[in-house]
Amino acid sequence: MGQARELMDRATQAVLAGELDKLREIYAADVVVSTPDAGVLNGVDAFIEWNRTFVAAFTDVRYRSDRALETEDCAIDQGDFIGTNTGPIELPDGQSAPPTGKQVTMRSADIATVADGKIVRHDFYFDQLDLLTQLGLTEAAARSTT
């Protein structure tokens, strides 16, 4: 296992455990993170806050890996995040919806790029509409964008 894979695995475990301060050890201070829901995040503090909303919205979170690939400076994961929505979830317009109590399976892929022993770029891919549909929030999301 190379450095990129080791850092990606540590980052995933930190998020799943809700140990977000550990991300400071794994990510460069000026990391660039792209997300489907929040756009581009600049810096580890913005990335930690983005994760904080996820951790607060879902309990019993786990990750089921389908693929874990690695190149010299990148790690690529594909799989499913599974969890129960027990906290407010942010809608696309920044408002929040109350918890639904529903369990979701969110298909995702992400790519982490490493340089100098830290993740310097992380790109996340997941289907927001699928997530909102599983939560029964597609109508609330549509109203929030009009």
Q: Is residue 91 part of a domain?
A: yes
What are 115-135's pLDDT values in tens digits?
A: 999 999 999 999 989 999 999
Strand partners of residue 124: 110
Q: Give the residue among 120, 114, 89 at the shortest CA–CA distance from 104.
A: 89
pLDDT value at residue 94: 78
Q: What is the extent of the structural domain holding 99?
A: 3-139
Q: Give the residue among 40, 22, 14, 49 at the shortest CA–CA distance from 122.
A: 40
Domain count within the chain = 1
Confidence class of residue 59 from pLDDT cuts 50, 70 and 90?
confident
For 16-31, what is the mean pLDDT? 97
What are 76-90's pLDDT values in tens digits?
A: 999 999 999 999 998
Q: Could you tell me the CA-to-CA distances from 133 to 20, 118, 127, 130, 136 in Å, in that order?
A: 27, 35, 10, 5, 5
**Residue at 37: amino acid letter:** D
For 9-24, what is the mean pLDDT? 97
pLDDT value at residue 20: 97
Q: Is residue 144 part of a domain?
A: no
Q: Is residue 17 part of a domain?
A: yes
| pLDDT beyond 80 at 67 | yes
Q: Is residue 146 part of a domain?
A: no
Flag the least confident range among 37-41, 94-98, 106-110, 132-136.
Answer: 94-98
Specify the CATH number for the domain of residue 38. Answer: 3.10.450.50
Q: What is the number of other CB atoms lying within 10 angstroms of the CB of residue 132?
A: 20
pLDDT value at residue 29: 98
Tokens, residue 17: 């455990």
- Greatest extent of the chain over all pairs of C-alpha atoms, in Å: 48
Q: Is residue 40 part of a domain?
A: yes
